Amino acid sequence: MWAREPGFATLIYIILEQQVSLASAKAVFDRLTSAVAGPLTAARFLALNDSTLKSAGFSRQKIAYGKNIAALIEEGRLDLGALGAADDEVVRSTLLRIKGVGPWTTEIYLLRALNRPDAWPGGDLALAVAVQEIRRLPERPTPLELETIAEPWRPWRAVAARLLWQYYLNRPARPVGDRIARKT
């Protein structure tokens, strides 16, 4: 199920996964956790300098996002623990107000950290590729088209996402000529 513990470390990990491969994000996260003394907390993240974060593989932008989130937590303006008891819309509105946290990151946090059954990261590339291949669509569906396709799966869209990710990760290799045309 790829579940993760709710909290700062998971939110940082998800931010690292934005627009990169899972392997790349894991490598950066592993270097980050090696750089801190003990569990990854907001305070420990703030104690790291930019050079250390860059050495771990953070971009300048992701350093800024991480420091902002850590500062919000340290200042008491963001309580990720309280989000576990909040409904999905409160979680979405809270996280979407944070710079660097967009709809994909929010939905992944709902799905993986809070284990919400109807979370749906419609902007996820792997989901789009899986849906395109399974439905034999001539083009990769847009995020809006994925939302429409997933609508009948409510209130269990997170289950569908997990199944589609498994398909994507385990799909058979196809000769180049047999692949479905994809948008670039």
Q: Residue 1 — very low, low, confident or very high, per pLDDT cuts 50/70/90?
A: low
Residue whose C-alpha is closest to residue 7's, from 98, 115, 80: 80
What pLDDT shows up at residue 170? 92
CA pair distance 71, 74, nearest whole angstrom: 5
Residue 135 burial by Cβ neighbours in a 10 Å radius (0-12, 13-18, 19+): exposed
Mean predicted confidence (pLDDT) in 94-113:
97
* Domain locations in the chain as residue ranges: 8-113, 125-178
Integer Cα distance of 22 and 3 in angstroms: 15
Cis omega (within 30 of 0) for bond into 155: yes
137 alpha carbon, distance to own chain's centre: 25
Q: Record the pTM.
A: 0.89
Q: For residue range 79-91, what is the model confidence (pLDDT) as tens digits?
A: 999 999 999 999 9
| pLDDT on residue 182 | 39
Look at residues 129, 123, 132, 120 and name the one whose alpha carbon lies nearest to residue 162: 120
pLDDT digits (tens, 9 = 90+) for 127-183: 999 999 999 999 999 999 999 999 999 999 999 999 999 999 998 776 444 444 433
Rounded to whole angstroms, what are the CA distances from 76 to 21, 69, 98? 32, 11, 14
CATH of span 8-113:
1.10.340.30
